[in-house]
Amino acid sequence: MPNFSLKDEVFENAARQFPTPFHLYDETGLRKRARALNEAFSWCRDFREYFAVKALPNPTILRILKEEGCGLDCSSATELMLAKACGFGGEEVILSANAMPPEELAQARALGAFVNLDDISDIGLLRTHGGIPETICLRYNPGGEFSIGNTIMGNPGEAKYGFTKPQLKEGLAILKKEGAAAFGLHAFLSSNTTEPSYFPSLAELLLTLGKELAAESGLRFAFIDLSGGVGIPYRPDQPETEIRAVGEGVRKAYEALIPDGSVAVKTELGRWMTGPVGWLVTRAVHEKKIYRDYIGVDACAANLMRPAMYGAYHHITVCGKRDWPADHVYDVTGCLCENNDKFAINRNLPEIALGDLVVIHDTGAHGYSMGYNYNGRLRSAEILYTAEGGYRMIRRAETARDYFATLDLDPAAEALGLGPKA
């Protein structure tokens, strides 16, 4: 079931203070999720969630997660800068990148962050960019299909990430020679899965492999990093992932394999953490009836790309009309010159009037952050609904000046009064 934790009143009040569209994030809901995750893994002596920054790279959100004891999983130089600016450092940060500029490895090392190497060739890059650390993380790709029981959960054989098993062995031997003393293992084999046995199965796989690699390499097996991938129910008929059951499942696998509790457990959840506590608040601004009925809203794929990019479902409600019968069928669209710019297709909804607030659910992860500027459309503001019940703008909406900022070398920006000197 998508998240209905906020009343329509919250969206209506926010829309009185700030022009639509905007993403609204619920601080209380966010803290609850962070606490539930930490509680689910509280059996583990050394557990830490490294929130995947790319899911919601807003410093206010990152500082809230820091208060809840989370670290950060960064994927680029700018995300490392963001982490540092928010006060994260040392072992609170992990860099998981692939085909990355080697300077980013040096930047992560300078921050004291864990480095999660994606490929055996990265060892040479790390040697010359920051140096080999005492503890190093390696990303594993088992190839083939990843199944739990009869269900195919993912297709690692087609994924660009990670080391093969022989490469892990070879890599660890090299790393040991170059001064590493301990290693962690990371894998991401299934995306947006609400199947509670995903993390337990992955933990079993990584712990079994890690023990074998430790025995063979003589390096200490320091941690497993289960990464992200735990899903959320975007659709009304989908069940919520029981995070407590996920934690319990991992505990069972862990206790069977690591009875002395010597291996730390890390996660890098993005979607599960923030997805359900974000909403894209839009207004119906256009109605059109041709072969279908269309409602145009004031947001577009530039504000939320998932439907256009993946055909992803996002639940939609209309403020003040939650109890109305869903007896109209609409395509809910944005304004891009792209026919995939549709937040909903043939969706049963209550009758929508122009001016209605149309709320798109579960936009707190991979929502704003995937935004772009196609058609010259600008990204929206981000609003925090605070634990005290207030509304705080935590990112302003883009303006034309932002759009022209990268053209400040061109006379066009100056001519429009939007150059750097204006």
Ligand X SMILES: *Cc1c(COP(=O)(O)O)cnc(C)c1O
Q: Which residues of the shown chain bind ligand X in the complex (CB under 6 A)?
A: 52, 54-55, 73, 96, 188, 191-192, 227-229, 268-272, 365
DSSP assignment letter at 140: B
CB-CB contact of 373 with 301 (8 Å):
no
Nearer to ligand X by C-beta: 100 or 213?
100
Q: Which is nearer to ligand X, 191 or 340 (CB)?
A: 191
* Least distance CB 161 / ligand X (angstroms): 8
**CB-neighbour burial class of residue 344 (10 A; exposed 0-12, middle 13-18, buried 19+):** buried
For residue 117, the minimal CB distance to ligand X (Å) is: 12
Q: Name which of 192 and 380 has its Cβ closer to ligand X.
A: 192
Rounded least distance, CB 296 to ligand X, Å: 30
Conformational region of residue 388, where left means phi above 0, alpha means psi within -120 to 50, and beta covers everything else: alpha
We find the least distance from the C-beta atom of residue 351 to ligand X, in angstroms, to be 35
In the bound state with ligand X, the residue whose beta carbon lies nearer, of 13 and 164, is: 164
Q: Give the shortest CB-367-to-ligand X separation in angstroms.
A: 11
- Minimum CB distance to ligand X smaller for 52 or for 62: 52
Residue with tokens 């109890």: 323
> Would you say the C-alpha torsion 367, 368, 372, 375 has a positive or negative sign?
positive
Q: Are 271 and 33 in contact (CB under 8 A)?
A: no
Q: Which one, 160 or 289, has the nearer CB to ligand X?
A: 160
CB of 184 to ligand X, least distance (A): 13
Shortest distance in whole angstroms from residue 353 CB to ligand X: 35
Distance CA 248, CA 250 (A): 5
For ligand X, the closer of residues 94 and 413 by Cβ is 94
Helix (H, G, I), strand (E, B) or coil at 342: strand
CB of 366 to ligand X, least distance (A): 6
Q: Torsion angle of alpha carbons 385, 386, 389, 393, nearest 10°?
A: -50
Q: What is d(CA 362, CA 367) in angstroms, rounded to the nearest whole number? A: 9
Please, what is the Cα angle at 20 between 18 and 21, to 5 degrees? Answer: 125
How far apart are CB 329 and ligand X at their closest, in Å? Answer: 31
In terms of DSSP bridges, do strands 342-349 and 264-267 run parallel, antiparallel, or are they unpaired?
Answer: unpaired
User: Minimum Å distance from CB 285 to ligand X?
Assistant: 31
Tokens of 374: 């196609």
Residue 135 DSSP SS3: strand
Sign of CA dihedral 72, 75, 81, 82: negative
How many angstroms separate the Cα of 371 from the Cα of each of 365, 380, 398, 399?
12, 9, 11, 14
How far are the Cα atoms of 20, 21, 157, 319, 393 from residue 303, in angstroms, in the given order? 11, 8, 32, 20, 16
What's the min distance (Å) between Cβ of 230 and ligand X? 6
Can you give the length of the chain in residues?
Answer: 422
Nearer Cβ to ligand X, position 130 or 275? 275
Bridge partners for 137 per DSSP: 116, 184
Q: Is 230 helix (H, G, I), strand (E, B) or coil?
A: strand
Nearer to ligand X, 33 or 271 (CB): 271
Which amino acid appears at position 140 of this protein?
A: Y
Nearer to ligand X, 51 or 343 (CB): 51
> Is 133 or 162 the residue whose CB approaches ligand X more closely?
162
First to last CA, the chain: 49
